Chain A
Amino acid sequence: MNYWPLLGVAVIIVGFALRFNPVPVVVTAALTSGLLAGFHVPALLALLGKSFVSSRMLLIFVLTLPAIGLLEHAGLREHAQRWMARLQGMTLARLLIGYLLLRQLLAMLGLTGVAGPAQTVRPLLAPMSEAAAEKILPELTDDDRDQLRAVAAATDNVGRFFGEDVFVAVGGVLLIQAFYTQHGIELTPLSIALWALPTAIAAFVIQSVRIWLYQRRLQRRAAYDQDTSAS
């Protein structure tokens, strides 16, 4: 067993820990592991180049930028905020939990590309969350805004991850099935997908409770601010 390629993992850990720019760190790690595994330089370059262009679909989100840039220029975020501020009964927790449910259900139907950080979080969910939070605490700090946007992005991720494996034709389920087939165990995709359901429900409950707790923290701070200004 050749353990030397593990040094590539060490390069990653050290590079991220020292907060170097991740791009050269990742490429250095790839070169380290490849060379230590005995690849020749041309073969390693070819492997790197081929796998890079094979994953071009990961950059497809940039195509959303022109439409979103134009809409933001025309006031999309300002409108989303004003609309949220007017909506009676729409609290921060209801907004985010509603989005979580929708995202999870869509992912369970195999529709993971429908929503996402570029498609829905930046133009819609993040400004709406900020407006909903301003209803609780009118003077949000920059840190609050950063945290709110992060919570919106996290909710999107949790909804996506713990919904998609309930769908039978998604990459994860097919990968599991393919692995077992290679090793002589035949399973139907449905039997695999069904067992993702308990954790999907648990993930929904956990993320919802955390959203609700986050809202309660904001409410407590608002109440505290009111007390101190009243006295």
Chain B
Amino acid sequence: MLRIEYAYWLIAAFLLYTGLRNLRERRGWHAAFWLVLGTLFGAGDYILAQQAAGHALPSEFAGAGVITLALLAPRLHRTPHVETDTSERRLQSAIRLGHRLFVPALLIPLVTLLVAVLGAHLFIAGHAVFTAPQMTLTGLALACIVALFAASRVARTPWHAGVAEGRRLLDAIGWAALLPLLLASLGEVFTQSGVGTAIAALAGTFLPTGSALACLLTFALGMVLFTVIMGNAFAAFPVMMAGIGLPLLIQQHGAHPAILGSMGMLCGYCGTLLTPMAADFNLVPAALLELRNPYGVIRAQVWSALMIFATNVVLMWLFVFR
């Protein structure tokens, strides 16, 4: 009954609303940006269905839409989130409402948790309430709606005031919101273009294959470097495994596959902490927290990432050739 597609439609509606509000405030570039993005979200199911049926034209239009977004993005000046109210009034409201304010905020994780844990067992008249793909995210979308209405009750403010506030936050995030999707597409294009295999082939020509330690270090550093470039450890893993992990470490030097796979992936996660390409973990939070430096989160993570990486490599060296 509740499918993830409904969440996408809800996002599309919110994006289109943001575009229309910008249009009314005569901020043309912002309006165009959000309207194009909202249209892509609304039409997403149709595009994928047509693509699956062998009609590429809608996907081609979507690609043109993505390029339009790229041309519009530099024209969006990042406007800091303007408080609509004095801090004095918000403090008064905070004192009056007290802990009640936490209830809707905590409903977001709690409802998501409930759906994630119990969603598979909920049936109404023989139909599953939540369809299996992306059930946690469907739960998150539902949780956001529940939290919005709860917040509107607690604060005695109409719910559409929340949508208007949310739109201001979205405008403050601006084009950074788009990056995770673009980087996912870039990863796909890189894979299809053979970027990964080319890098693995290059690495292979320089590598002293006789030394197990050299191979292990190349594999671990390669996972980090590749993740930094692609923004995603999942994209790096198959390339590094096929290039170095499987032929050299496992087949030639007898490494333990489960340990190599598990810890190799974690090397990639260290790379994720270091790269602006992992925008949804590094750049979007910086925008969301209104940091002045877009790379602030990465800077706070550098030493953690390097120390975890070093520990991980030592552990690999100790365990993988048992």
Contact = CB atoms under 8 A, between A and B. Distances in A.
A46 B51 contact: yes
A3 B195 CA distance: 8
A51 B189 contact: yes
Interface in B67-118: 67, 69-71, 73-74, 84-85, 87, 90-95, 97-99, 101-102, 104-105, 108-109, 112-113, 116-117
A137 interface: no
Contacts of A50: 47-48, 51, 59, 62-63
A221 interface: no
A71 interface: yes
Interface residues of A, number: 120
B113 A114 contact: yes
Interface string A136-170: 00000010001101111110111001100100000
Contacts of B11: 56, 59-60, 62-63
Main secondary structure of the interface of B (DSSP, over half): helix
B109 A52 contact: no
Contact of A115 (B43, B109, B261): B109
Contacts of A48: 62-63, 66-67, 185, 189
B97 A74 contact: yes
B61 interface: yes
Given A27-B67, A79-B101, A42 B301 contact: no
Contacts of A157: 272-273, 281-282, 285, 297, 301
Contacts, number: 437
B94 A66 contact: no
Given A5-B198, A39-B193, A121-B285, A75 B47 contact: no
Interface in B157-183: 157, 159, 161-170, 175, 177-183
B301 A30 contact: no
A23 B69 contact: yes
Nearest to A156: B285
A195 B312 CA distance: 11
A52 to B, nearest CB: 5
B35 interface: no
Contacts of A82: 94-95
A45 B175 contact: no
B286 A52 contact: no
A30 B263 contact: no
A193 interface: yes
B134 interface: yes
Contacts of B291: 146, 149-150
Interface stretch (B23-31, B208-216, B302-310): B302-310
Contact of A147 (B91, B166, B300): B300
Contacts of A61: 284
A85 interface: no
Contact of B285 (A16, A153, A206): A153
B304 A154 contact: yes
A65 interface: yes
A53 B92 CA distance: 44
Contact of B56 (A39, A46, A179, A203): A46
A22 to B, nearest CB: 6
Given A42-B56, A67-B144, A149-B289, A22 B283 contact: yes
Interface of B: 4, 7-8, 10-11, 14-15, 40-41, 43-44, 47-48, 51, 56, 58-67, 69-71, 73-74, 84-85, 87, 90-95, 97-99, 101-102, 104-105, 108-109, 112-113, 116-117, 134, 136-137, 139-141, 144-145, 147-148, 150-152, 154-155, 157, 159, 161-170, 175, 177-186, 188-190, 192-195, 197-199, 201-202, 229, 233-234, 237-238, 241, 246, 250, 257-259, 261-263, 265-266, 269, 272-273, 276-277, 279-286, 288-289, 291-293, 296-297, 299-301, 303-304, 307-308, 311-312, 315, 319
Q: Which 4 A-B pairs have the closest CB atoms?
A: A49-B62, A69-B165, A75-B94, A45-B63
Interface of A: 1-3, 5-6, 8-9, 12-13, 16, 21-24, 26-31, 33-34, 36-37, 39, 42-80, 82-83, 110-115, 117-124, 126, 142, 146-147, 149-154, 156-158, 161-162, 165, 171-173, 175-177, 179-180, 183, 185, 187, 191-196, 198-199, 202-203, 206-207, 210
